[in-house]
Structure 1
Amino acid sequence: MPQCPIIPALHYRDARAMIDFLCRAFGFERKAVHDGPDGTVAHAELTLGGAMIMIGSPADTPYGRLVGPIEAGGRATMGLYVVVNDVDAHHDRAKAAGATIEIPLTDQDYGGRDYTCRDPEGQVWSFGTYDPWR
């Protein structure tokens, strides 16, 4: 693992529902969830193996408003790639939970097998067996 981990921070219109979805569909586990006003999520930490993402509701910050794809007009502004051991089982779990499969399971020429999907609020996720650190 790299010595300087990068922890993506994602914002969702309904962050609480998306935390449930990410755990159910992708296998994340809740490490911490801190409530914000009016049912929002001020800050949440979800883990998957040795990795972490942070989740929050849309928020105004000193450097601008942080939003997810729905509030950004449906445009995805980034994608995440997550290494998993059994990508076929992961794909089936994500699809059954309601993820929209954008690119089906594919064996890549450079090694590894992966797929790409969108969560219910439009964030783009790729899951695969290719691990560039190995």
Structure 2
Amino acid sequence: MTPSRPRNRLIAQVFYDVEFIERYGGGIQKIMDACEAAGLPQPVFEERFGGFLVTFNKDIYTEERLEALGLNGRQSKAVMYVKETQKIKNKDYQEINAVSRQTATIELNNLAEKGILIRTGRAGRGIAYELPIMPNK
């Protein structure tokens, strides 16, 4: 990313004078901090066609991001399943991934420990896993 600079010096100076902005370049860091606090991927900043473009990703559950978090293919598949069905149970995990109950339990618990899924329900067959933040479709 290029160093921060006002794109329109006159507007930037007016905003600074009326204390609408504290300093030049502070907005980009605030945007990045807000995305991180919300658990969203960092936005992409680009200078294009003489303007400035910021791209936000609304879906934090992309295969690329899940891979970057260190999930295996089965876990990524389970998260994609939850995006579609709203929840997953151990039996569902076993069926979509062709794994044992023990493997499903370990990997679902790992997803919960990482904060990617949240565990709901009581012990046994009542336990389900859901996304803490549902993506906008």
Which TM-score band applies after superposition, normalised by the shorter structure? Answer: under 0.3
Q: Which has the higher strand share?
A: 1
Structure with higher RCO (Cα < 8 A, 6+ apart): 1
Q: Which has the higher helix share?
A: 2
Pick the structure with greater CA Rg. Answer: 2
TM-score calculated relative to the size of structure 2: 0.21
TM-score calculated relative to the size of structure 1: 0.21
